Every structure is written in C-alpha cells, then in structure tokens.
Structure 1
Amino acid sequence: MHLTIRRSILVLPLLAGAVPALAQDIDPDAPIVVTAARTALPVNALPLTVDVIDNQTLNQQVAIGGSVVDAVSALTPSFSPTRQKLSGAGETLRGRSPLYAINGIPQTAPLRDGARDGFTIDPFFVDRVEVIYGSNALQGIGGTGGIVNQVTAGPPRQDGISGRVLVQGNADTGFHGDGIGGKAAGLLGWRGGRFDAMVGAAFEKRGVFYDGHGDRVGTDLTQGETQDSRSWSLFGRFGYAVSDTARLDLMLSRFELKGDGDFVAANGDYTKDIPTTSVRGTPPGVPATNRTESVALTYTDSALWGGNLMLQAFFNRSRDTYGGEIAPIATFQDASIAPIGTLFDQSQNRSRKFGSKFSYERQIPGLEALTATVGLDLLFDKTEQRLIATDRTWVPPADYRSLAPFAQFNLALLGDKLRLAGGLRHEDVRIKVPDYHTLASYGGGFDVDGGTPRFNDTLFNSGVIVEPVPGIRAYASYAEGYTVPDVGRIARAVNRPGVDIDNYVNIEPIVSNNREIGVEVKRGPLDASAAYFWSTSKNGSLLVQTGGVFEVQRQRVEIQGLELNLSAKTPIPGLVLSTGYAHLIGRTDGSDDDVFSVDRDLDGANISPDRLNLAASYQHGPVSARVQTQFYLSRKFERSPGNWDNTYSFGGYNVTDLSLRYDTGYGALTLAAQNIFDKFYIDYYTQTVRPTDNAHFFAGRGRNFTLGWDYRF
C-alpha cells in the first residue's frame, strides 16, 4: 500500500539532489533516499525529520485540496492551516517559513518574499514531495522552517511511448454555476536507447468558493486568489544516458495562474460573525497573477572514481502581480500625483535567479565506514517591486550573491548500529541595493543611500543516531539555518532620512539554531515517531501589520515543539489507522530595550495552532479510500506581558475530508470531498491576524466535490 513514508534524517549541507526516480517503481523494502537531503545515504543513516509524500498519496490529497500546499498542510501537523488564497503569507512549518523548491531549485525570492512560492508548478507534474523539517542550511538561503521539495516526474523506464491523462471536475455542495471548475492535463513520454523525453501541459479553471453557510467566500483582490482563476502549466524533461552510471537531464517548466476578475469583495461584519463575501463586479486594474519559469540542466554520475557526482545549473524567473486598490491610503497615496484618497495603484514583484550546485560524495578508501562530501553552491538573485499603474519604485532592484562551499562527514560504527554525522557550510553573501527614493507615504518620501552590505558566516551541524536493532532508532541533532530578512519590505519601509543601507542593522542575516531529539519505531504493523525540537534566532524576522500592509520587525525568536506520529496496520487487510499531533510554543521579544529576552507570544502570522490529525486508509484490490480529520485546537496569545487580548484569540475548528478511488482497468475513477460535513468556520489567519478587518474577514471553504479520471499507459 502506498502511504506517506515517514523517516528521520539529519538535515545537513550534503550532496546536491540525484535524479529522481518514478515513485510507482520504487521497491517498498528498498532503503529510502531523499533527493532533497543531498546525499545518496538512506534516511536511516541520518538523524532529523523528513516526510516523503509519495505519488499516490499526493494525488489523493491534491484531489481533495487542489494544491501541493494543501497536501503538505493536511498531512503535516506542525504546518499552518492554509489560507486557501494565492498568497502563502503566514503559512509556516514549525513556526518559520519553509523553502519551496522544484528538484532542488529554490522558488522563493529571498530579497522580497512575495509569498507566492507554493504555486509555481502544476501538481500534475510532481511525482512526490519531500518535506524536511527544521532550520538547516541544506539548500543555502531560506528553509528556516524546513524545505518542501517537489520532485517532478522521472524519465520513462522502458523504450517506447508512455503517458498519463487526467480529467477532473469540481463543484461546491450546491452545484452553483459559478462554483464549478475543471481540469485537463496530459503527459507524454518517449524513450529510445539512451535518449528519452517527456512533455506535458495542464489547464485548470477554478470556480468561486462557497463556505459552510452556502455563501461565496470573500475575495482578496490585493494578495490574489486561487478561486475564480485559470492556470496554465507546461512541462518538459529531456534526458541522455551518457553511460550506465552517468546521465544528463534538462528540465523546463512554465506556470501561470491568473484571476478571472469576475468578483469583488463585499465587507462582512466581524461583530456579528458575518464573513466577507464576493459579489459580481470587475476589479480595477490588472487581475492578480502568478507566473514562474524554471530551467535546470543536471549531470549525475553515481560511480565516478568510486563516488557520486552531481552538477546542476539552473535559472528561475517569476513575475507576481498583485491586485490594485485605492486603499491602503497610507501606502500608495501621493498628493503630488492625485488628491489623497483617489490614487489607484497595484504592485508587481519581478525576480530572477540563476545558480549552480556541485557536490561529490564517496566512502574514504581504507576507511569505508566514513562517507565524505564536498561541494559548492552559487546563487545570484535580482528582485524588485514596482507600482505598475503609476510606474513608481516601491522596492529598489536589489542584487543578492551567495558563494557557499561545504563539507560533510558520516561515520558508521558497530555494524551501523551507531552513526556520527557532522559538517560545516561557509556562506559568503553580498547584497547590493542602489540609491532610491521612498514613497511619499513613508515619512514624506526622501532619498536613501544604497549600499553593498556583505556577510560571512560558518554554519555548523552535528548529530548522532543509535539503531540497536533494525527498525528502532533514536537520534539527536544540532543544525544551523540561514536566510536574510525580507530586504524588500525593510527597504521600502525606511521612514527617516540619513539611513545608509551599508550599515542598516535590519538588513543583517537571520541565523537560526535547531536542536532536536527523537525516536522512531518501525517494526511489524507499527510505524511511530516522536520528536522534540527547540529553535532560536537572536535577530529573527517577524511580519507585523502596519497601516494596512505587513512590514518586517527584527526581534529575538524562540520556538519549541513536540511532534508525535503513529500509524498501525489493523487485522483487517488493507486498513491502516494513523494519527499525528503537534504542539508549538513561539515567543519573541516585544520590548525596545537591549535585553535579549522573550516576553510575548508569536501571533498567528508567525506560528501555527496546535493540531491533532486522525485518518483511516483502506486499499484492497482496485478499491482505495481515505477519511481524515484535522482538529485545529484553540489558542490564546499573550500580545504583551500579562495582556491576553481575546480579540486575537483562535477558537479552533475541525475539517473532515474523504477520498474514494476505483481502478477500472481503463483508468482510475476518483471521488474526493473536502470538508465533507460542510463545517462553517472563520480561518485561522483571519481570527489571529485581522479579526476586526471587515474587508478581510474570511470564512473557510465549505463542502466541495472533485470527480476525476486518471489514465496511464
């Protein structure tokens, strides 16, 4: 039975990812190798936490929720409940932002995080998802909360033509005409001798969402929506087997999601628990759009001089357009252009990055118990944010350059019953910001001297794994993660003269320290794990709402949490019961003094609620089914010492989903239902971040159905 595979590994700066294999061809008893871990060692050789969402589980969850982000959130208790919007702002893993990647290619723009990185490829082209938990420097910048690596479909296994076709329809429980959507996708593969190729396309039309009361869910015109939208995705993969052990791969991907612009928001009333809704109308300006293009050329050789070589060069470009509005008045208004309160504008993030990854791993001759890795990562990124209606600069076009050599060692002792791992990564970072002029709303508008701040830091990690008998393991680890704050938000929010970017303290990088201990039992019908972690950063980065937009504050952050997971096969053939629980505590320093202490809770924009997951899965012959419930537990926040403001508290809610699948022999039929009991709720982000904002008082999506036919040949 294909289930989410859970293992524990140490997240270390190791080898760059190997060429992914097709999930449906993996031997379930073979050692699991996670490509995002950047090593050929199996996961039981490394200590920390990883989830691998295999192909069947991913397709099942995407049919329920519609996206990879929804799939990861549903299966991962320490991941925030999704906002069900195009923006992922406020969605965290272990209380920090995850790094989204496609085959190891970072999708996040580090200089100006537009929070659109969860929607950069259609899930139809994703073979599996690797979720690596906790702060680490594995992929370089980002990933202070973990890594969500989307591994695309692998090359065809046999000569000839193969492929896949998917047709889906989606409707709300009332089958409203504007709530109906659909999807069509195809992937065609060919292999002949040493050459192979795969090309595919996907198109999806999403209807408007309805809540548990049968009303339209409110539209977020500025940040963007997945409801009432269309997306197009193109994918190509071309490979050549240089030898029996060496391979060259070219991957190309283009994704665009654009709002249809058929609805505008109608304010709710938070005092009466009436959510914001949507009414027919034409939003001003250009609809919110997300467009991403990626290219990667990868060369691997699994037997070069007795070791494993990986070389990769990549290019990624994104253009994120946000919806326009006259509000927030405090941000876009400028009396020199138009009377205050009348000026319309909208912003657009423009980012491009290119880089390369090199790594070589092998056992040390004469000391085969020791595996060594050396490598070098290069990353160049240029990002700016413009106001496209008036052609103004909101965030100047900043450049980011990172050079990062690393080395790693893994030593097996006592017949692999004991392993020691450790290594380091040196980050040499340069950020170049030109001179620029701020918007009038920030202190009247003035010139800011640009600069070229540089940072150097060596990031360490270490770990120990004890496996006295196969299937029972305990581990402890320490790993440092690295990222920069949202430089764009910081630069645009400068509100006083005399600031020099070269020595502006708010630009300094974020180094997070992740410590973790855990145990895993995987024997017979039982698959269980428990992990406790605590993560700190002396100069962290928080999103704080100011004047209708979110800006960055640099504060000390401390997070700790407990994660429990249990899965058991029952005496009923094919029936598996599972549960997961996460408890998180996040604290930060809310004072302006120089004392490094934490005196208040992280809010809902920065940490997720505690959660309990329950699920039952069944597979026998051509039939498979799953029912799952996520219980998001209530929480109050200490907003300042002794101040427990109930306005920003979270009341909790639960959502139950269902999936049924039958393999006809001529394709598989799937019927999935999200929120099967049509539960009405106000979403977590709204309750904890914007509970008094009638224009953004959003309800969650009610019951909706997806019927699909999936044929492989």
Structure 2
Amino acid sequence: MKFAPTALALAVVTAIVAPQFAHANADAATQNLPAEAENDTAVASQSQQPIEKMVITSSRMAKPVSAIPNTVTVIDQETLQQQLAASRDLSTIIGNLAPGFSPSRQKMSNTGETLRGRAPLIMIDGVPQSNPLRSGGRSGQTIDPDMIERIEIIHGANALHGLGAQGGIINYITKKPDDSGHKLSLDVSAPTDLSHDSLSFGANYSFSGSSGALDMLGSVGYHSSGVYYDANGDVIGVDTTQGESMDSQSKDLFLKFGYDMDDSRLELMINHFRMNNNGNWMAVKGSVANDIPTSAVEQSQPWDAANNRVTTSSLVYKHNDIGGQQLEMQLFNQNFQAVYGGGCFASFYDPEFDSAPGLTTCSTTNKGENLYYEQSRNRSNKWGLKTSLLANDLLGFGVDLAYGLDLFSDTTEQDLVQTGVSWVPETRYDNIAPFAQLSFEPLPQLALSAGIRQEFATLKVDDYKTLWGAGNKQVAGGEPDFSQTLFNLGASYNLTPALRVYSSYSQGFGMADIGRLLRDGNSFPAENASVDGAINLEPVLTDNYELGIDYQGEYFTAKLAGFHSGSDMGARLELNQDGIYSVKREKSIIRGIEASLNAYVGDADTLGLNMALTEGRYDANQDGRTDTDLDGANIAPNRVNLYWEHEFSFEATSRIQLNYFMDREFHKADGSEYANFDGYYTVDASFTVPLYGGSLSVGLQNLLNEDYYTYYSQTMPNDTRNFKGMGRTVSLGYSLPF
C-alpha cells in the first residue's frame, strides 16, 4: 500500500471539513457548555461528559492539549483499567489506543516495538527507562501497571526530555498520595480451555494517606504468569534468548512521599521492579517455510533464566513563586540490569574456553570447536538532574517562557554471564543540555511556540577487544564529543471553539545502539580500529513535520494528523543469521497518517475508531535516496481499531474492541518482495461492575480465538522465533478499597 501524505493534502482536507464542523459547532454552542470545555482532550479520551481541561505534564510547560502542536494520546485511569481487564501487557494497551505503536511481541523483550516507526523514549514520571547506549529491548518491563495513574504519549520526534525520543515520548505517570486509605486488588487469567499450567494470577495491596503537610503512598504487587497457548490449544514457543514473559514472576514495590510547604512541595518516588522467568521450558524449533510454529517443551533451561531488575527513583522539588517564576527540579536515578537467556551460539565461542571446566558443551563444529552454553547481561546506571523555570506572561506581553538545564550521565556495560568476558565495554555517556521554550498567544484563538535545545555530549570508552567470534579485534578507546542544536516550531489555531488546526516542526536527538556498534567488529573496518572518529557512532538526528486537525463537539470528536519523519543517518536494526541484531546507519524516511473518531450515541454509548497508516524506506545502496521498505523490526503495520463502550444504569461499564492489522508486502530497491505480513484481527471485551463495595472486572482477550502468527514473527522470519499469538484468554479481577 503506497501513499504520500503531504501538507497540501491535509490542507485540502481541512478546507473541506472546516465549514461543516463550524456549522455543527454552532448548534453545540447553544447547549451552554462550560467555558473550560475546550478541545483539550487526547486521542484516548472517550467520555460523553463535559470535558475537563487536560494538562500534559510531559510537555515541560504543563500545557493543555489544545496548546500543543502535536498528536497527543492520554490513557487515563478509567481507560487503563478497562484495558487491564483483558490484558496486563502495557505494549498491547498502548497499541490498542495509539495505533501508531507496534503490536506487542507478547514477550519479555520489546525489541522492534516502535512509535511512528522509530524508538520512543519510555519514562516513569519523567525518569528515562530506555537505555540509549545498549537498548536490549527491555525498557517496556520496568513497572507494574497497577502503579500507574495515566500514560501520556507525545507522538513524533522531539527533544523535550533529551536523549532518545526519536519516535516520541511514552511517560508513565505514577499514582499520587491521597486519603483513600487501603486497597486490595486480585486478578486471575487463563486460556478458556483451562490447561493446568496456564493459570496466571496476581495481587496488589496499596495504602495512601496524609498527616498534616506529609502524605504517603505505598504499593506492593506480585504477578505470576502461566504458560501461553495459541488458538489451537498448543503451547506457544518460548524466547529463551531475548526473554520470555510466560512462565514468569514479577514483583513491584512502590513508595511515594510528599511534603507540602509554603508555595512549594518536595516529593520522593521509588519503584523497584523484578521480573524473573522460571526457566522451566525450552523452545522447539519451528519452520517458517513449512508453516510450523515454534513450540516449547517442559524442560529446565541449562543456564540462568532471563530476568529484569530495575530500580527507579526521583526526588522532585517544586516552588510556585521564585521571583514570580515557577521552579521545578528533579534529581533522578535508574539502576537497570537485564539477564538474557542462553544458547549454543558460535558468536560467543572463544578458543580460550574450549572445554573449560564449569561450562556445558552443547555441540561441536566441523572445525572441531566445542561450543558451550553462554548468555549475556546488560547493566546500566543513569543519573540526571532536570532544572526548569517557568515565567508566565513575561513582561506583560502574554509570552510564557520555560528555560533550564538538563544534566544526564549513563554508564552501561554488557558482559557474558558464564565466562565473565566483556561483550560491550563499559561505556559512559555524559550530556549537558540548556534549553528554552517560548509560548505566545497573539490572538485568543492562536497559540505559537518555539524552542531551542543545545546538546553537549561526550562518549567515553576505554581500550577493548571484540569477542573472538566478532574478529577478536583490538579497538582503541576514546572520548568523541558531539554538539547539536535542536529546534522546534509550532502553531495551533482554533478556527472555532470546537475546531483546531495545528502544525509543527521538531527535531529529535539520540544515539544509535552504541553497544551493538562497539561489539561488532564490522563497525571498525580500518586496520587501526579506534572509537575516535568512528562515523557509525555519530548521533541520530530526526526531523519531524506534522500537520493536524482536531474537532471537539457535543456528538462526536475527530482527529486527523499527517507526519513526515526523516533522518540522514538513522539507526536500523538488522537481524543476523545467528538471531543477534546489528545496527545499520542509513538515511531513512517514515511518513504516515493517524486518525481517530469518537461518536456519542445517546447518553450511554460511545463508538470509536483509531487508525494509523505508515510507510517507511531506507537507503540500502548508500546513494542518498531511500529505496527499500523498512521491515517489521523498524515499522508498525497499518491498522484500524474499532470499539464500543456502554454505561449501564447500575454503574457498570462494558467495552468491546476490534484490532485489524492490514496485509503488507516489503520490497527491495529492485521491486522484489523480501517479506510479507498476512494480516489478522483480534477482538477483546471487558465488563466492570460494582460489587460489595469494590469493583469486579471480566475480560476476554482474543474473544473469537483468532489463529495467527505475531507481526514480529511474520516480518522477521526465523525458525527459532516463529511464534503464534495467544488464543482466547479470560481474566477476572476484583479490587476492594477499605
């Protein structure tokens, strides 16, 4: 499917629909809606009630949606609970409500899950969870969903929070202390054939209260996942290398303390999350060519099972009046460790350990080399300080100015667990970034914004040697530094109180997966290999253009946006024959259309549609022109999401949603097809009802028991990862405040 969304095309659409929307709004205006019921809603807001002014804290200026010239999705607590009734996978939930996000892999790894075809920056309360130096695909498994109040998603590359937001920002906003007291939540799920080992269950206990100026929230959660089954009742294959979420356990401890002072507040947040695979299942190789899915057999893994251990902490100080300005300072830390499953990999072989004691030999090559089971471990420690000041109505001219300084440091290393050999040398990234952001409303209906951010970055790598399988190459370390000025411009214009058009240009700054580049001997073809001057280590700069139109009326809301994202030196993931990814630095262009429509039928029903159409190409032959389709590890499928919500008179609610993923072919520069995706659809349903002072939820994932291979498995064909999706699964949940 080919298309070319352009500014001209969207302008034509705007010209056509504006008069009709304006006419509809004239009728709505007679209903005497509250003055604050502007079009300050996000894509996922689906309420028939008067719409509250929704402030997006991830914008660094705490602006309402109507003043942000980007597509924004907010998944509020009510919508999040609806989705959790059917699935606890955050990637699935985000994809259901922001279809420009890739379908979930249904694994511990989120490698290949992109937003608008590029990696998003995932945060918890503004603290980066993404690992820019050595991604590893585990940033999606760092918090229990029960600790989240809402999710803010800003689509498209931007530099609001610095490093890593090539595809946008996904910010998990955690719950805040109040006087709600205690709450206990229980949940259980299983395939509808109720296989004995498929039961998943969990519990969460939280307490919240205050005493004078001090408030506190604490929560502890545990969840055990059973074995996953497909629509045919067969065990789904396990990903013993990148990490498997089935047959696993997760634990989360969350604490938040707040102290209010005159015109100021101090808040401490700590979240410790652990996820461990039990290691009781081994993969059974499938066959892509013969339509045989990868399966699994109950057998102990001969290595340490994959796991995630993440501690996120944040100390925030806010003052509402320092010389007439608002101050916010955030000191944060994220300590991250991910252990990946093992395998019999030639890439990890080293003759130094041939037949070494303590290692388990798994096969012998035709050269007589004794391969052994090995696995890797990724460790990252991030520190940062974000300081910003906000001056409103500067000099009486209606100009708001946010400015400040961000400091960031990330130290990352990846080693091999069994032998202790360094795979990715210890790498340190230091960043200093002053920024300024202006917002101006020269007319009541017009909001303009402009910003600048200066990135000063240094990468520090000591001398190291690549693995024997990667050339055993000695590489001289170094301290390459980078300086980049980033700009953003935006305009939002209310044609009527209900109809808004907006346009923006923004730049995103990030690093390619440095770890993958450093460990790959091919990254340093010169005889005297050196980190200094290596062009592959240059930052990724992404230019994002967007044009959109929003309508907020009494009977329906609508959004339409087109975007164009380009990078002269992108960072594409390419899967090698041994199942390990490498990074390719090439020019890439991604463009697409995102749309949503919510219709309010009567007083109790809401019908909705979300859609995303995206295409992406890269420069395969390095001639400066994009010529080859990006594959499924780098771009999401075209998809349509439909839903129907109903509110019952006895305070119960229901939702049924359909996700349709469209067929797609992937072509090389010569027009030949190198991969294809056989689309599929899934239907989910949820029902929530008050019961004995609490709330009971019932959810069905894949209600019609659709038999399908996942998007990632189809578009990145590999016999060891030819995974099917989960079959029909029923979930029950009950929460009780006391």
TM range (shorter): over 0.9
Q: What is the SS of the residue equivalent to 2:114? A: coil
Of residues 662, 669, 685, the one that matches 1:640 is 669
* Map of 1:412 onto structure 2: 441
1:585 has 2:612 as partner: no
For residues 403 and 229 of structure 2, what CA distance do their matches in structure 1 show?
52
What is the deviation of 1:75? 1.3
For residues 470 and 190 of structure 1, what CA distance do their matches in structure 2 show?
40
Tell me: CA distance 1:425–1:109, structure 2 relative to 1, closer, same or farther (3 Å): same
For residues 130 and 71 of structure 2, what CA distance do their matches in structure 1 show?
22
**1:121-177 alpha-carbon deviations (Å, 9 max, x no partner):** 101010000011000001100110011100000121x4xx61321101111111011
Of residues 499, 507, 516, the one that matches 1:480 is 507
1:31 has 2:61 as partner: no
* Map of 2:146 onto structure 1: 124
What is the deviation of 1:589? 0.2
- Report if the CA contact (8 A) 2:40-2:51 is conserved: no
Q: What is the SS of the residue equivalent to 1:441? A: helix
Normalising by structure 1, what TM-score?
0.93
2:102 aligned partner, one-letter code = S
- Report if the CA contact (8 A) 2:394-2:400 is conserved: no
Q: What is the SS of the residue equivalent to 2:703? A: coil
Of residues 614, 620, 628, the one that matches 1:600 is 628
What is the deviation of 1:207? 0.2
1:480 aligned partner, one-letter code = Q
* Matching of residues 111-510 of structure 1 within 5 Å: 111-156=133-178, 158=179, 162-243=181-262, 245-327=263-345, 329=346, 331-338=347-354, 340-414=369-443, 416-443=444-471, 445-495=472-522, 496=525, 497-510=527-540
- Report if the CA contact (8 A) 2:338-2:378 is conserved: yes
**1:3-45 alpha-carbon deviations (Å, 9 max, x no partner):** xx99689xxxxxxxxxxxxx9xxx9643211111111322212
For residues 152 and 273 of structure 1, what CA distance do their matches in structure 2 show?
43
2:87 aligned partner, one-letter code = G
Of residues 531, 535, 540, the one that matches 2:561 is 531
- Report if the CA contact (8 A) 2:473-2:521 is conserved: no
**1:505-530 alpha-carbon deviations (Å, 9 max, x no partner):** 00000000000000000011211000
- Report if the CA contact (8 A) 1:334-1:340 is conserved: no
What is the deviation of 1:365? 4.2
**1:91-137 alpha-carbon deviations (Å, 9 max, x no partner):** 11100011110000000111100110111010101000001100000
For residues 618 and 610 of structure 1, what CA distance do their matches in structure 2 show?
27
- Report if the CA contact (8 A) 1:8-1:49 is conserved: no
What is the deviation of 1:618? 1.1
Of residues 530, 553, 557, the one that matches 2:588 is 557
Of residues 589, 610, 616, the one that matches 2:638 is 610
Identity %: 36
For residues 598 and 242 of structure 2, what CA distance do their matches in structure 1 show?
38
Normalising by structure 2, what TM-score?
0.90
- Report if the CA contact (8 A) 1:6-1:50 is conserved: no
Tell me: CA distance 1:211–1:7, structure 2 relative to 1, closer, same or farther (3 Å): farther
What is the deviation of 1:423? 1.2
What is the deviation of 1:547? 3.4
* Matching of residues 38-57 of structure 1 within 5 Å: 38-57=60-79
What is the deviation of 1:665? 4.6
Unaligned runs of 5+ in 1: 10-22
What is the deviation of 1:303? 3.5
Q: What is the SS of the residue equivalent to 2:398? A: strand
What is the deviation of 1:280? 0.5
What is the deviation of 1:308? 2.0
* Map of 1:19 onto structure 2: none
1:264 aligned partner, one-letter code = M
2:196 aligned partner, one-letter code = G
1:332 aligned partner, one-letter code = F
Q: What is the SS of the residue equivalent to 1:569? A: strand
The CA RMSD over aligned residues, in Å, is: 1.7
For residues 303 and 678 of structure 1, what CA distance do their matches in structure 2 show?
57
What is the deviation of 1:578? 0.1
For residues 686 and 370 of structure 2, what CA distance do their matches in structure 1 show?
49
1:628 has 2:646 as partner: no
For residues 314 and 266 of structure 2, what CA distance do their matches in structure 1 show?
11
2:215 aligned partner, one-letter code = D
1:97 has 2:97 as partner: no
For residues 524 and 303 of structure 1, what CA distance do their matches in structure 2 show?
38
For residues 370 and 103 of structure 2, what CA distance do their matches in structure 1 show?
35
1:633 aligned partner, one-letter code = M
Q: What is the SS of the residue equivalent to 2:272? A: strand
* Map of 2:697 onto structure 1: 670
Higher alpha-carbon deviation: 198-207 or 41-50: 41-50
2:225 aligned partner, one-letter code = R
* Map of 1:13 onto structure 2: none
Q: What is the SS of the residue equivalent to 1:367? A: coil
2:306 aligned partner, one-letter code = A
2:469 aligned partner, one-letter code = S
For residues 6 and 107 of structure 1, what CA distance do their matches in structure 2 show?
31
Q: What is the SS of the residue equivalent to 1:660? A: strand
Q: What is the SS of the residue equivalent to 1:428? A: strand
Q: What is the SS of the residue equivalent to 2:289? A: helix
Tell me: CA distance 1:698–1:365, structure 2 relative to 1, closer, same or farther (3 Å): closer
- Report if the CA contact (8 A) 1:653-1:681 is conserved: yes
Unaligned runs of 5+ in 2: 1-37, 355-367
* Map of 1:59 onto structure 2: 81
**1:48-91 alpha-carbon deviations (Å, 9 max, x no partner):** 11111001111221232212222101111111111000101111
For residues 268 and 535 of structure 1, what CA distance do their matches in structure 2 show?
37
- Report if the CA contact (8 A) 1:377-1:403 is conserved: yes
Aligned residues: 679
- Report if the CA contact (8 A) 1:438-1:446 is conserved: yes
For residues 211 and 40 of structure 2, what CA distance do their matches in structure 1 show?
36
What is the deviation of 1:471? 2.0
Tell me: CA distance 1:302–1:600, structure 2 relative to 1, closer, same or farther (3 Å): same
